[in-house]
Structure formats: C-alpha cells, structure tokens
C-alpha cells in the first residue's frame, strides 16, 4: 500500500521524461512495479511511456544537447589543465577525475566527497594505524560498503573488514546471476566491478550455480609483461578520451609503461566488444522483468534499452536464466 505522500511524489516525478520507472522508484523508496501500478491507477502510465519514448528518440536524434556539450567541453578543458599539476602531487584528484569522466556512472556521489575520501584513504594507507571502512566513511555519511565500492571503482584495494555487507535486493540478485551465466572472457573481478558488487558475492552465487570457474581469457596485448583486467583497460581508455597524455596515463596507472598503454589501445575494439557482450546479457534481467510486468515486447525492448537484434538473441536465453532463478529460489 502506498501512502498519499509517496503517491504524490510518484505522480510528480512521472512528469519528468528523463526518469525511468527504476529512477522514480529509487527516489521515492518503492519498487518499480509499485510505481507502474500507481501510474496505471491514476491513468498516467500511457502518458509517461509516450513521453519517455519521445525523450529517448529526441536524445538519440539530436545527440548531446548543445548547452550540455559546451559545458562538458569547458569542464574537460579545465580538468586537462589541472591534471598537469595534480599528476604526481595529488593521486586522489587524478583518480577522481577519471572516475567522474569515464563511461561508468559516478556512484551518485558529489565530486568533493569522492576526492576528500580518496585523499583520506591515501593518507591512511601510509599510516601504521589504518582506520576501518566505517571510520573512513563516517565524516561523509557513507557506510562501509559504499566506501568499499568506491575504492574498487578506482582500482584500489579496500581494507579487510569483519563488518557484514548489506543484503542484495531481488533485482540485484538477478543481475549477479546473469553476470555469472554470461558467456564472456571477463574474469570474476571484472564482472564484479562492472556490476558494482563485491567479488565475494559474485563468487558465492557462481559456486551455488555449480560454476567453479569462468572461461577467463587474460588480456595480455603484445608487448606487455603482465596481464590486464578489462576494467583497467576501460579506465585507461577513459583517461585517453579525456585528452590525458601518455605521460599522464603512465603516472596515473602505476606500473604501466608507455609501450603497454599503446598495446592496450591497439586492442581497444576487442575489449569494448567483450564488455558490451557482458553488459548486453545482463540487460536480459530488465527485459524479463518488463515482460513479466505486462509490457509488450516493443515496450520491454525500449525500457531495457535493447535493440530488435539483441532481443532475438537474449530471448532465446531466457529459459536458462529462469532455471537459475528457480535453483536459487529467487523470486
């Protein structure tokens, strides 16, 4: 049952076409199915769906809004100017820049919060008495699992902690299962980082599914001395797209030589294709949820950001994923 305040919030937020059902659900604190039922109940669902489709079509046709594009160019130029100063003196700033301007979502945290927390982390790492993740995140109102997630996002090692992690929602469990079943060369660590969940969670679900190991294909381009993870490669590509020089990238990614940077850039199409295959398979979760909620295939494809070609490929794997849900009793 939804109280009147949440109902009003749902109706108000549904007038913003840039928000999906899940976006509205997160802001209000309910499930996306509840949002859908409320909109249907008040007769706003078809209007919202039409507005969403129009918004996505306009965004696809026009690309980035000219104003946003100008702001983005100015910000990128400003960041490139300050990177020269921060390259060696301030690793926290470099890591924060790459995180916020990579293709990944910036963890819904403010820039200064991420920067200050990483700065505290590097100071603590050099001290003999290291604070716990809870103590590290306390000044910023962040629980330990959010701090751990942030550190993984910038490819840093989190402190070991005995604190209990939060429980996954049903939707998150489904995504983890899909990540385990994805037929790709990504390692367990890569899959975990791309999903934003701790590696031990993905490993636990893989074991429950009887997957003792993944068909991991190490990323070792010609000329490199050691293998790289796909996530490391994506971070490097993000820095390159921002205009970072080879010298900047070598300083930012410790232990990487210029020769290895060039080698990773040479295999970029293959790396991005492999990551896309993984992300496309995980979209099957959203596609199945939309179909189960009663949406037509065309509407489900739109809501899950799936093309017609990808729909045909994914729908054939639906039974495999449903069987995994049943084995793990995920509903």
Secondary structure (DSSP) of 192-206 = HHHHTS-HHHHHHHH
Residues 39 and 114 occupy one common structural domain:
no
Give the predicted TM-score (pTM) of the model.
Answer: 0.58
Closest CA to 227 of 193, 199, 187, 180: 187
Residues 209 and 287 occupy one common structural domain:
yes
Residues 92 and 80 occupy one common structural domain:
yes
Domain annotation covers residue 234: no
Residues 79 and 30 occupy one common structural domain:
no
Domain annotation covers residue 236: no
Closest CA to 22 of 12, 41, 35: 35
Residues 24 and 102 occupy one common structural domain:
no
Domain annotation covers residue 225: no
Closest CA to 239 of 226, 253, 225, 259: 253
pLDDT tens per residue, range 157-180? 765 544 444 567 888 888 888 888
Domain annotation covers residue 241: no
Domain annotation covers residue 89: yes
Domain that holds residue 95: 66-153
Residues 58 and 70 occupy one common structural domain:
no
**Domain ends where: 62, 83, 111?**
62
For the chain, residues with pLDDT lower than 50 are 103, 106, 161-165
Tally the domains of the chain.
3
Residues 56 and 99 occupy one common structural domain:
no
Q: What DSSP designation does 140 have?
A: G
Residues 94 and 187 occupy one common structural domain:
no
**Domain ends where: 62, 78, 102?**
62
Whole-number pLDDT of residue 69: 58
Whole-number pLDDT of residue 158: 62
Domain annotation covers residue 147: yes
Whole-number pLDDT of residue 214: 57
DSSP strands (E only) in 236-298: none
**87, 252 contact by CB (below 8 A):** yes
Domain annotation covers residue 237: no
Chain-centroid distance, C-alpha 241: 19
- Dist. CA 239–CA 236, nearest whole Å: 5
**C-beta neighbour count of 208 within 10 angstroms:** 13
Residues 197 and 57 occupy one common structural domain:
no
Domain annotation covers residue 256: no
Whole-number pLDDT of residue 162: 44
Whole-number pLDDT of residue 209: 75
Residues 53 and 75 occupy one common structural domain:
no
- Dist. CA 18–CA 59, nearest whole Å: 10
Where b means 16+ CB within 10 Å and e means fewer, 302-331 reads: bbbebeeebbeebbebeeebeebbeeeebe
Map residue 99 onto helix, strand or coil: helix
- Dist. CA 236–CA 263, nearest whole Å: 12
Residues 127 and 87 occupy one common structural domain:
yes
Whole-number pLDDT of residue 269: 92
Residues 200 and 317 occupy one common structural domain:
yes
């Amino acid at each position: 049952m939804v109280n009147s305040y949440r109902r009003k919030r749902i109706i108000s937020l549904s007038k913003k076409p840039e928000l999906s059902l899940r976006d509205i659900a997160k802001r209000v604190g309910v499930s996306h199915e509840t949002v859908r039922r409320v909109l249907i109940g008040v007769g706003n669902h078809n209007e919202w769906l039409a507005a969403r489709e129009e918004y996505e079509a306009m965004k696809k046709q026009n690309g980035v809004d000219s104003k946003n594009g100008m702001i983005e160019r100015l910000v990128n130029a400003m960041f490139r100017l300050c990177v020269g100063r921060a390259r060696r003196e301030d690793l926290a700033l470099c890591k924060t820049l790459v995180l916020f301007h990579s293709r990944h979502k910036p963890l819904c945290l403010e820039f200064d919060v991420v920067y200050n927390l990483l700065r505290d982390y590097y100071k603590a790492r050099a001290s003999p008495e290291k604070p716990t993740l809870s103590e590290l995140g306390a000044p910023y109102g962040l629980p330990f699992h959010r701090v751990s997630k942030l550190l993984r996002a910038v490819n840093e090692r989190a402190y070991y902690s005995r604190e209990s992690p939060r429980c996954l929602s049903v939707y998150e469990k489904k995504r983890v299962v899909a990540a385990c079943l994805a037929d790709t060369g990504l390692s367990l660590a890569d899959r975990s980082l791309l999903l934003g969940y701790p590696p031990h969670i993905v490993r636990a679900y893989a074991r429950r599914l009887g997957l003792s190991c993944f068909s991991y294909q190490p990323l070792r381009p010609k000329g490199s001395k050691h293998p790289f993870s796909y996530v490391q490669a994506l971070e490097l590509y993000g820095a390159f797209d921002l205009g970072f020089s080879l010298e900047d990238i070598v300083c930012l990614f410790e232990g990487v030589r210029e020769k290895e940077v060039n080698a990773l850039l040479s295999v970029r199409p293959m790396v991005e294709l492999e990551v896309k295959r993984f992300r496309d398979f995980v979209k099957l979760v959203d596609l199945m949820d939309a179909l189960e909620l009663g949406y037509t295939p065309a509407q489900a494809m739109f809501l899950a950001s799936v093309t017609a070609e990808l729909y045909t490929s994914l729908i054939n794997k639906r039974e495999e994923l449903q069987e995994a849900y049943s084995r793990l009793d995920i509903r």
